[in-house]
């Protein structure tokens, strides 16, 4: 299983130095024509997310504060000899210290107040200071705001004081300054309202979201930035609204600012929690990496634009069973060994202990309202899909021993958190099924008979998602297989 380039454990440490963006489109350095229009003002948020000897990764957020533009070019100068080596979300070129980044084919239009972002890896020697001045289409970015009278349905707006007062969520969410912050894929917020429209307030320039009204998707917001998206023209009645994070950007927290009713309408009490709860734990196969792609090669579009956690086997199964669910999954991570041995010293358990995956100081404690009757764990593909490299602390045999020992410890923590009645399913493919099944056998021998084994492999899986990951057809098949398997379990819900 190949993790996407920006979050590949082999590229940079998991403990980020700051918030990073990665719009996972593979972009080569190239010369392109100059944009035709210039913005009057702009704001740039440049952050070094990680740094190692001779290299670094940076995120650049761009907000247009002037007239709308249909194409853009951001320019700056490096002050210490740094160089851009690879970019995504933009086409970058460099001459000496001067760098220019032109929009990709899908993010050139920026309305007044709209934001986009891109990321890059670079090299440095001696020092890596942040550039001090940027220009968008030739105009220096001062960060000042020009008054706007825009009437588009996506506008900048202040969030409600309590984002979750009228919104139901079961994801790992941190409340801060009137907003709910989160990183895990598939995090969703649900509300109810009476009227002809509703606003959804978000602050996230990196992830994609679906907005759903009465169970149907009415809008997909691609890296929306700080916006309130308005849904209008509905029948004057009671409706449900749901916004769900489609993509996986573990190193940057998105923000949900709440729902707002259209004029003349009102928000109603939040939906009641569902009695059934399921937690899905895993890697990119659980997160929905590249699942909406029709090609295994996603270099032209990037993985994020082809990923939807709300169409994974976990989300589909939960909906089929009428359950609330969490998807706590991260690409490239294993139980003890990450993909190809990358990012040594960390593994999936490092992130799972956190509410916000990239924050090493964040220790997650499940609220008393989250006590899933079923937990499905799928970890092992990254541990075993590549040979052990020279210098790694395992041989092929000792890796199996370490994996089984760590899995037992992980199951012990889950059991302590959720109690003796929760059914825990160890989910595996043929790649590591024998080892995973031994974990379950050993656990059962210790008296914990509510740990079960499920091998999900099936010859009908086409693996047509990005980089041979599961397609949406595969996820539908897996959901059917899992739903049938769940029917055989001793669940009391």
Give 234-252 pLDDT, tens digit per residue.
999 999 999 999 999 999 9
Active-site residue, selected from the candidate residues 117, 252, 284, 479? 284
Q: How confident is the model at residue 142 (pLDDT cuts 50, 70, 90)?
A: confident
Q: Which residues contact 207 (CB under 8 A, 6 or more apart)?
A: 223, 245, 246, 247, 249, 252, 254, 304
Range from 134-148, 174-188, 398-412, 423-437 carrying the lowest mean pLDDT: 134-148
For domain 154-267, say whether CATH 2.60.120.260 is its number: yes
pLDDT in tens, 190-247: 999 999 999 999 999 999 999 999 999 999 999 999 999 999 999 999 999 999 999 9
Q: Is residue 11 over pLDDT 50?
A: no
Rounded CA-CA distance 76/32 in Å is 16
34 among known catalytic residues: no
The predicted model gives 407-417 an average pLDDT of 98
Least confident of 38-42, 103-107, 131-135, 219-223: 38-42
Nearest 5 degrees, angle CA 9-CA 15-CA 17?
115
pLDDT at position 87: 86
Between CA 389 and CA 10 the distance in angstroms is 12
pLDDT at residue 13 greater than cutoff 80: no
Q: How confident is the model at residue 449 (pLDDT cuts 50, 70, 90)?
A: very high
Copy the structure tokens of residue 436: 């995973």
Q: How far is CA 397 from CA 93, 314, 388, in A?
A: 47, 32, 10
Residues 157, 159, 161: CA angle, nearest 5 degrees = 145
In the chain, where are the structural domains located? 5-140, 154-267, 276-486
Q: What is the pLDDT of residues 248-283, one digit of tens each?
A: 999 999 999 999 999 999 999 999 999 999 999 999
Q: For residue 127, how many other CB atoms are within 10 A of its CB?
A: 9
Most confident of 9-23, 84-98, 162-176, 378-392: 378-392
Q: Which CATH architecture has domain 276-486?
A: 3-Layer(aba) Sandwich (3.40)
- Structure confidence at residue 6 (pLDDT): 36
pLDDT of residue 5 exceeding 80, the answer is no
- pLDDT value for 30: 34
Q: Which residues of 354-370 are buried (b: 16+ CB within 10 A; e: fewer)?
A: bbbbbbeebeeeeeeeb
Closest alpha carbon to 187 in 198, 173, 200: 173
Q: pLDDT category, 360, cuts 50, 70, 90? A: very high
- Give every CB contact of residue 108 below 8 A, 6+ residues apart in sequence: 35, 69, 70, 71, 72
**Mean pLDDT, rounded, of the chain:** 87
Contact indicator for 111, 68 with CB cutoff of 8 Å: yes
Q: What are phi and psi of 300, to 5 degrees?
A: -80, -35
**64/68 Cα distance (integer angstroms):** 8
Give the global pTM. 0.71
Q: SS3 helix, strand, coil % of the chain, rounded to 5? A: 20, 30, 50
- Report the CATH number of the 5-140 domain: 2.60.40.290
480-490 average pLDDT score? 97
């Amino acid at each position: 299983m190949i993790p996407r380039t920006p979050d590949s454990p082999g590229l940079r440490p998991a403990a980020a130095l700051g918030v990073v963006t990665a719009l996972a489109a593979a972009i080569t350095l190239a010369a392109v024509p100059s944009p035709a229009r210039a913005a009057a003002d702009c704001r740039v948020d440049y952050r070094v997310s990680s740094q190692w000897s001779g290299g670094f990764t940076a995120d650049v957020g761009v907000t247009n504060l002037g007239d709308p533009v249909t194409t853009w070019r951001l320019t700056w100068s490096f002050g210490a000899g740094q160089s851009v080596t690879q970019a995504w979300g933009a086409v970058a070129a460099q001459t000496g210290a001067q760098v220019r980044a032109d929009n990709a084919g899908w993010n050139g239009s920026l309305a007044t107040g709209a934001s986009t972002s891109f990321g890059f890896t670079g090299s440095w020697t001696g020092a890596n200071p942040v550039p001090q001045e940027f220009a968008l289409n030739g105009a220096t970015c001062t960060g000042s705001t020009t008054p706007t009278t825009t009437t588009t349905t996506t506008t900048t707006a202040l969030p409600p004081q309590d984002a979750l007062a009228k919104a139901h969520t079961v994801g790992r969410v941190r409340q801060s300054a009137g907003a709910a912050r989160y990183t895990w894929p598939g995090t969703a917020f649900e509300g109810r309202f009476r009227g002809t429209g509703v606003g959804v307030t978000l602050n996230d320039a990196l992830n994609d979201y679906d907005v759903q009204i009465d169970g149907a998707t009415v809008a997909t917001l691609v890296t929306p930035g700080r916006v309130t998206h308005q849904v209008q023209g509905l029948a004057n009645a009671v409706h449900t609204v749901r916004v769900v994070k489609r993509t996986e950007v573990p190193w940057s927290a998105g923000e949900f600012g709440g729902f707002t009713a259209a004029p003349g309408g009102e928000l109603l009490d939040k939906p009641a929690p569902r009695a059934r709860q399921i937690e899905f734990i895993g890697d990119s196969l659980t997160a929905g990496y590249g699942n909406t792609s029709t090609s295994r090669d996603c270099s032209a579009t990037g993985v994020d634009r082809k990923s939807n956690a709300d169409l994974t086997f976990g989300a589909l199964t939960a909906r089929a069973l009428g359950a609330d669910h969490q998807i706590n999954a991260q690409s490239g991570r294993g139980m003890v060994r990450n993909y190809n041995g990358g990012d040594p010293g960390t593994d999936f358990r490092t992130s799972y202990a956190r509410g916000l995956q990239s924050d090493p100081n964040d220790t997650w404690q499940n609220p008393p309202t989250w006590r899933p009757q079923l937990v499905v764990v799928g970890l092992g593909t990254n541990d075993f899909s590549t040979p052990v490299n020279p210098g790694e602390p395992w041989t092929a045999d000792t890796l199996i021993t370490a994996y089984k020992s760590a899995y037992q410890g992980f199951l012990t923590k889950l059991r302590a958190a959720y109690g003796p009645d929760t059914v825990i399913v160890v989910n595996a493919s043929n790649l590591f099924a024998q080892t995973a099944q031994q974990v379950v056998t050993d656990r059962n021998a210790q008296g914990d008979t509510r740990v079960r084994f499920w091998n999900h492999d099936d010859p009908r899986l086409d693996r047509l998602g990005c980089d041979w990951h599961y397609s949406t057809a595969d996820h539908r098949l897996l959901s059917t297989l899992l739903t049938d398997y769940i029917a055989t379990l001793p669940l009391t819900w």
